[in-house]
Structure 1
Amino acid sequence: MDGDDVDFDKLLRDADDSPPTNPRELYEQLPFKAKDYGYIRDAQTQILSKWDDRREQRDIVIKVNTGGGKTIDGLVILQSYLNEGIQPALYVAPNKFLVEQVVKEAGNLGIPVVTDPEAPAYFAGEAIAVVNGAKLFNGHTVFSDNRPSAPRVPIGAVVVDDAHAVLAILKDQLSVTIERSNPTFTELLDLFEEDLKIQAPDVLLDIREETGGGFARVPFWALSNKLDQMRTIFRQYKPDNEFDYGADAIRDSLALCRIVFTPLALTIVPPVPPVGRVHSFADAQRRVFLTATLANDSALITDFDADPALVSEPIQPLTAGDIGERMILAPQEINSTITEDNVRAEIAKLSEKHNTLVIVPSERAIAKWSAYSPTVATKDNLTKVVATMRSKNHVGLVIAANRYDGIDLPDDACRILVIDGLPQAFSGDERLESLMQRTVGGVDDRQVQRLEQGMGRAVRSNEDHCLVFLIGRRLAQLTVDPRTLERFSPATQAQLKASRVMAKDLDNQPLSKIMETAWQSLTRDSSWVKYAKSQLRSLGHVSFIGGAMSGSR
């Protein structure tokens, strides 16, 4: 430094050097924000101000519409905790792809992050560690006292982003699925054969013959009577995936587990996930759960062991109208003679000009689109496919199986989104739980949640817009059945109701007329845009009743 230069570093040291904890002040003082991050959006300010008022509470739930800026909220909250002296700080995203997105967003904000929770910067509170749900929740987690090789990694404050999606990962990681090809499957089937023969003789035959799609649960008394034999067999179990540590996670709760056989696999699932084994998470001073679509808040209590009193008071935006514009069309609700194949053919034509994402419930369902040569997004190429769609290149028709969350496609990255078929439960235990939870509408809360998640993939801000197609008669029924409609968020309810109004106006019109209406969304017809905005503007303030957002004027 030249002798005449002002030593700003010295001036900064001489001033009050305590870092800001107020979230708005903190955001404004971030020195290395990217060009488009100069100010924080009003909806985010609302959320962060409410959180700041309650920052001393241990468990906080924040509900924000998809595209409402949850990631920025979470990063600012954790940086504020660090500035307060609560450290280290952990950010949990559902999967590796979303970890990459969080890291990128942190870079735009100028907030230091690492992806290794054992990095010195994490321990020192100098950087937030960003990990996926499977890194935090597994039978050999580094955040547990049961870790054999080193002390557990501490957590002072943790943000669980997309808590609804992390819940699914938590359940999967802290349970066991044994494929039929594994010898343990046959040994346990032999052990419980007589009990299953009494409980479900036909399903047992299907399981033995590897036919049908049924499932059979081992009666609890049978497990109790044969627990010692079960433990002996289970101790010899070697998972097909060497990084599957579910068996270690549930050994202590084996007596309470549900054991369900199907012709393809068996599942062993505890009544609630043993999150207490993840000691650093259980002991964290501050835990914040971010979610856009959680149909049943009780899962936060049972599965994350969150404080029931605090979960019942989630933080919410002042208005639910901060979601982007969506025209939702269910052609088979409009005209029952329209076939699914004809709808797919018309959507394929639209994809020649607009990036289109199709979400199907299973890999087998991908074949229904094979005639249109789609790009198939798999776990191996998902990051590359999404990056290409988010670039200015035209990709066209993209199809993904069971990807109802974890994909963000703003603006021209995706203008057409298709939900082709009702989300399904696949494992024996999922199907058992779905049967137990199913309401009179014939759909469980998780299916509604997945639908809401799926429809939010292409609308990432209140300035975004997208055309949504629902394919399948069951999905068409959901748009009009009040028993399921009321379980969506207020913004989605409003858009589904607008869809119903359009359906009445188009009643029994041919598919060609429906596609003309679709073009009104794609070409930004002014009358449609005004109508769509009016439906959301009428939502006004929101409140939470029984775990779902409820609108009021």
Structure 2
Amino acid sequence: MNMEFDFSTITAGTDLNAIREPVALFDALPSKEQGLGYLRQVQATVLDRWSPRRDETDLVVKMNTGTGKTIVGLLILQVGLHDGVGPALYLALTPQLAERAAAEARRLGLSAVTDPRNAKFRQGQAICITSLQVLFNGKTKFGLADSESPQQVGMVVVDDAHSAITRLEEYSRILIPSADDAYTALMELFEDDLEAQGAAKLMDIKTGEPGAVMRIPFWAWQDRASEVLKVLHPLRNSPMLEWVWPLLKDHLPVCEATLTTNGIEVASPLPPIQQFPSYVEAKRRVYMTATLANDSALVTHFAANAVTVANPIVPDSAADLGDRLVLVPQQLVPDLSDNELRTAIASIAVTDNVVVLVPSWARAQGWTEVANETVSKADEIDAAVARLRAEPVGLVVIVNQYDGIDLPDDACRVLVIDGLPQAASASERREATALRDTNTIITRHVQRFEQGMGRGVRSREDRCAVLVMGRRLVELISLPDVRGRLSPGTRAQVELSRQVARILEGRSDVTMDGVVDLIRKVIDGAEDFKSAARQALLDVTYETAPLAATAVHERAAYDAAVRGMHEAAADAADNAVNVARQVLNDDRLAGWFAEKAAAYRHATDPIRAQTLLAGATASNSAILRPISGLEFKSSRPTRRQAEAATKYLADRYTDGGHLRVGVEALIADLEWDPERTEEAEHAWSELADHLGFSGQRPEAQIRKGSDVLWTDSDGNRFVIEVKSGARAALISKRDINQLGGSLRWAEQSLTGTNQFVPVIVHPGHLVERTGTPPTGTRAVDTDMHDKLMGAVRAYATALAVDDRFRDPQTVQEQLVHLHFNGLEFPAHYGVAVKVES
């Protein structure tokens, strides 16, 4: 006879819901899957440090990838339910990552749902796990601020907060395509205002130049907001507007409108978080991040509390990263071409999966002959990643996706980051131009680079070789102060890689075959590599970077503006300007913020707004031009050419190696590329300074004159139109006439000139029959461009030896030898244009 016994009579007095410490809760969970017997030490430490701070509104949790962030976030939410702070919401970056988080909840035995309308979630009986966009959209299931009864949420965990920041920007902007009737109607409203900002730039946009971008002046946009509303309101339920219109409709005057060849972008200056009461009114918000070295964007984009965000929760050690070796093959083998490097990388993909991250389709084209797959759309990327995780695929190129991808173990043993991530939206492109080379943009690039690096190593036991190519990206990671912008673990791994590079750079036998052998050691997990990689991470701890001093003022200005408090908004924006100038010593950033301050000020004091804008252009010439216009102030070197070049090079570069890297990046920007015309114009201006001329950009500065103006110490001026995006070999009538107009502007405006030389940078030197080239026009065509690039590279190579760029006599010898001196430059590197017969 079997005796019956009910063990529940023993445990009946134990209430799981009464456990309010996350570590104890984990231990008590009765239905955990096998293999989840213990928390990792890093998880337990973070949870114990969160517990006494749980009632602070905004908390940041920093944990390396692969250390169990998801479990930590789920336990924090479950304890929140036990505390009575429900409902509890877990936001993943994508639907796919949300599915994985839900699977993790099931492994823990937690009650979880994926539909925000589920009763168990609303009643605080289950965690809702969904993607970021499900909450942050204009048709959100959670309800907007003007809803009768938006969904109450007591606690939110935002996973991958570092990537969520850019997604929030995407979710709060509209693109009105150039083919749409609404685009035509808006252009009729603002074309005159845009032409006053820059007739040449507007013409570039009209004729389809991909790199051109202009902001519709804020005074015109605000003053005609009711007319804009009449154009857009009938389209509010169209696929173009329906997901964003509810977020922007009541605040159109505050929005920024930007014109490109693709259309007109209407975007909120910062994400309209105030529209989502489920998020804003949550008592507890936790941001989980692996690579966000600076948390300022949480303040600007999520309206997070700056005081608590500045004190993140971190483990005792940051050493729990997988093993990575970062290599720059073209520094180790300086004469290695891009195609030779791609071929070598393809040889690795015969046996092991290689993933290449590129910023654009133009960059992806270089991999066409060796890639097994090239993907860019979300569903294509998901499918490719699934195949990589399941089997050998070979070489996969992923376009413009640096986050939200998990490629553990054999899914990716070699990760190639080919080129700097490019700004995607119109407003981002404009900001990148205005703040070029500032701390703001450099920090953003570094963060994106680090996010990309993290794709190939997803756990402590994982390993990956990271190869870097693309001249601007190589220059970026070579900058002396970039090390301090990386998270501590990544910084230690980059330093290990630099030690390897220093040893190899001193050897004469280094070839790409040797570099491939080194990569093979990483792929195979050689013991000496693993030992060195672990040693590099010893004693690495997390650090707390100070928040950007402008962040609180930026958010305060926007929040006041959408509440209709225009004076308060302008005052807060003025505070950001003052901090940028007086605390950060960054005039370009101050000028950028001053444009925003003037836009807020216009609503109550248009005259003062224009005065502020006019003053700000002295700090940043890329901002809007005031209604009254601007006066161009020409410059010329105060020293003879060799001395001017020496001073510029010595101020810019720390040593010969840095000079070579920087000049290679400059040459990359000078390439023919219709999508990077802005970069090309800037590079032509920079090239002038490298050679001892004075380089300026009148059209960018005052919206008149040539793209680029070079002046030498004798007062000779080269009036340059840069058509690096031209597709035809024939110089069009429009382009050559534009050069003529720029020359006339220069002759009328620039005194003290010895001689004017009109120059056009264009693939060809033949002008169409109806065009009239100015007398003496020289063309830097494809052949001359190649000749010039070779000479510039030779200049840098010679001056890099023993840091000879610091010696004016040596610089003078190179200028003479390479025909860079004075008027000899356009004569040697330009060919006389001809009109077709």
Q: TM-score range by the shorter chain?
A: over 0.9
- 1:52 matched to which residue of 2? 51
Shift in CA distance, 455/77, structure 1 to aligned 2, threshold 3 Å: same
Tell me, in whole angstroms, the C-alpha distance in 1 between the residues paired with 2:107 and 2:367: 38
Secondary structure of the residue aligned to 1:353 is: coil
Residues 162, 193 of structure 1: alpha-carbon distance in 2 compared, 3 angstrom cutoff = same
After TM superposition, the score normalised by the length of structure 1 is 0.93
505-514 or 320-329: which moved more? 505-514
Task: Provide the C-alpha distance between the structure 1 equivalents of 2:475 and 2:285, rounded to a whole number of angstroms.
Answer: 38
Instruction: Report the Cα distance in structure 2 between the residues aligned to 1:224 and 1:334, rounded to whole angstroms.
Output: 54
Question: Which residue matches 1:100?
Answer: 99
Q: Which residue of 2 aligns with 1:11?
A: 10
SS in 2 for 1:412: helix
Task: For 2:350, give the aligned amino acid.
Answer: E
Structure-1 separation of matches of 2:461 and 2:41? 14
Q: For residues 179 and 464 of structure 2, what CA distance do their matches in structure 1 show?
A: 44
Question: Is 2:349 the partner of 1:351?
Answer: yes
SS in 2 for 1:452: helix
Judge which range, 419-428 or 207-216, deviates more.
Answer: 207-216
Note the C-alpha offset of 1:295: 4.2
Deviation at 1:146, TM superposition (A): 5.0
Q: Is the 8 A contact 1:438 1:445 kept in 2?
A: no
Number of residue pairs aligned between Structure 1 and Structure 2: 544
User: Partner residue of 1:526?
Assistant: 527
Q: What TM-score do the two structures reach when normalised by structure 2? A: 0.62
Mean Cα deviation higher: 316-325 or 232-241: 232-241
Question: Which residue of structure 1 lines up, in the alignment, with residue 425 of structure 2?
Answer: 427
Whether 1:249 and 2:214 are equivalent positions in the alignment is: no
Match of 1:154 among 152, 155, 158: 152
Find the residue that maps to 1:418 and give its secondary structure: strand
Aligned position for 1:545: 545
Question: CA offsets per residue over residues 39-72 of structure 1, 9 Å max, x none?
Answer: 1111111111111121111111111222232111
Structure 2 residue aligned with 1:22: 21
Aligned residue type for 1:257 = C
Query: What is residue 83 of structure 1 aligned with on the other side?
Result: 82
For 1:512, the equivalent position in structure 2 comes to: 513
Q: Is the 8 A contact 1:82 1:89 kept in 2?
A: yes
Is the 1:60–1:311 Cα contact (8 Å) retained in structure 2? Answer: yes
1:147 is displaced (CA, Å) by: 6.8
Q: Please state how far the C-alpha of 1:529 moved relative to its aligned partner.
A: 1.9
State which drifts further: 238-247 or 14-23. 238-247
Tell me if 1:341 matches 2:339: yes
Partner of 1:551: none
Assess if the C-alpha contact under 8 Å between 1:178 and 1:239 holds in 2. Answer: no
Residue pair 2:145, 2:274 contacting (<8 A) in 1 also: no
Structure 1 residues 239 and 188: CA distance shift in structure 2, 3 A = farther
Quote the residue 2:816 is aligned against: none
Q: CA deviation at 1:530?
A: 1.7
> Kindly tell me: are residues 15 and 328 of structure 1, through their superposed partners in 2, closer, same or farther at Cα, counting changes over 3 Å?
closer
Note the C-alpha offset of 1:373. 4.1
Please give the alpha-carbon distance, in whole angstroms, between the structure 2 residues aligned to 1:366 and 1:97: 25
Greater shift, 371-380 or 83-92, is seen at 371-380
Give the counterpart letter for 1:368 in structure 2: G
Map 1:183-202 → 2, pairs under 5 A: 183-202=181-200
Matched residues in 1 for 2:525 and 2:80: separation?
43
Q: How does 1:129-140 map to 2 (within 5 A)?
A: 129-140=128-139
**Residue 145 (structure 1) shift:** 4.3
Q: 1:498 aligns with which of 489, 496, 499?
A: 496
Give, in whole Å, the separation in 1 of the partners of 2:16 and 2:162. Answer: 39
Please state how far the C-alpha of 1:443 moved relative to its aligned partner: 4.3
Cα distance in structure 2, aligned partners of 1:530 and 1:205: 59
Which structure has more helix as a fraction of its residues?
2
Aligned to 2:228: 230
Q: Which residue of 2 aligns with 1:451?
A: 449
Look up the match of 1:294: 292
Deviation digits for residues 242-272 of structure 1 (CA, Å, limit 9, x no counterpart):
6742122112221111111011122111222
Instruction: Indicate which of 301, 304, 308 corresponds to 1:303.
Output: 301
Residues 286, 276 of structure 1: CA spacing in aligned structure 2 closer, same or farther, 3 A cutoff? same
Moved more, 236-245 or 409-418: 236-245
Rounded to whole Å, the distance in 2 between the matches of 1:17 and 1:141 is 33
- CA-CA distance at 1:116 after TM superposition: 0.5
Question: Secondary structure in 2 aligned to 1:380?
Answer: helix
Tell me if structure 2 keeps the 8 A contact 1:478–1:485. no
Mapped to 1, the partners of 2:275 and 2:350 lie a distance apart of 51
The equivalent residue for 1:481 is: 479
Q: Is the 8 A contact 1:272 1:302 kept in 2?
A: yes
**Kept after mapping to 1: 8 A contact 2:317/2:539:** no
Cα distance in 2 between the residues matched to 1:274 and 1:231: 19
- Percent sequence identity is 37
Q: Which residue does 1:163 correspond to in 2?
A: 161
Give CA-to-partner distance per residue, 1:378-424, whole Å, 9 cap, x none: 42243333233223x22222221122111112222221111111111
Contact 1:180 1:265 in 2 (8 A): yes
Larger radius of gyration: 2
With over 3 angstroms needed to count, the CA separation of the structure-2 counterparts of 1:83 and 1:126, relative to structure 1, is same
- The alignment partner of 1:543 has SS state of coil
In the alignment, is the contact (CA less than 8 A) between 2:101 and 2:129 conserved in 1?
Answer: yes
The amino acid across from 1:459 in the alignment is: V
Deviation of the 1:441 alpha carbon: 6.9
**1:90 alignment partner, SS class:** strand
Residue 227 of structure 1 deviates from its aligned partner by: 2.2
- Provide structure 2 residue ranges, at least 5 long, that are not aligned to the other structure: 549-837
Q: How far did residue 498 of structure 1 move?
A: 1.7
CA drift of 1:281 comes to: 0.7
**Deviation larger for 129-138 or 165-174:** 165-174
For residues 442 and 6 of structure 1, the distance between their equivalents in structure 2, rounded to whole angstroms, comes to 68
Partners of 2:116 and 2:341 in 1: CA distance:
48
- Structure 1 pair 244–173 and aligned structure 2 pair: CA distance change class (3 A): farther
Q: Does the CA contact (< 8 Å) of 1:480 and 1:500 recur in 2?
A: no
Shift of 1:521: 1.3
Query: In 2 relative to 1, CA 7–269 (structure 1 residues): closer, same or farther, beyond 3 Å?
Result: same
Extract unaligned runs of 5+ from structure 1.
Answer: 549-553
Which moved further from structure 2: 441-450 or 192-201? 441-450
- Maintained 8 Å contact 1:140/1:146: no
Query: Secondary structure of the residue that 1:131 maps to in structure 2?
Result: strand
Summarize deviations over 1:183-233 as a string: whole Å, max 9, x none.
222221221111111112211111222224110011222222222222222
Contact 2:321 2:460 in 1 (8 A): yes
Q: What CA deviation, in whole Å up to 9, does each residue of 1:111-169 have, x standing for no partner?
A: 22211010122112222111111111011212224576x73222111100011222222
Is 1:36 the counterpart of 2:55 in the alignment? no
CA distance in 2: counterparts of 1:373 and 1:15, whole angstroms: 59
Whole-Å separation in 2 of the counterparts to 1:518 and 1:439: 32
Distance change in 2, residues 1:267/1:390 (3 Å): same
Checking the alignment, whether the CA contact within 8 Å between 2:292 and 2:487 is kept in structure 1 is no
CA distance in 2, matches of 1:114, 1:505: 54
Question: 1:176·1:268 contact (CA, 8 Å) conserved in 2?
Answer: yes
Partner Cα separation in structure 2 for residue 454 and residue 352 of structure 1? 23
Alignment of 1:202-241 (within 5 A): 202-237=200-235, 241=239
SS of the residue corresponding to residue 85 of structure 2 reads coil
Distance 2:73 2:29 in 1: 15
- Counterpart CA distance in 2 for 1:125 and 1:490 is 38
- Residue deviations 1:58-88 (CA, integer Å, cap 9, x gap): 1111112222321111111111111222111
Amino acid at match of 2:534: K
Q: Tell me which amino acid in the other structure corresponds to 1:259.
A: A
Note the C-alpha offset of 1:482.
1.6
Contact 2:236–2:245 (8 Å) recurs in 1:
no
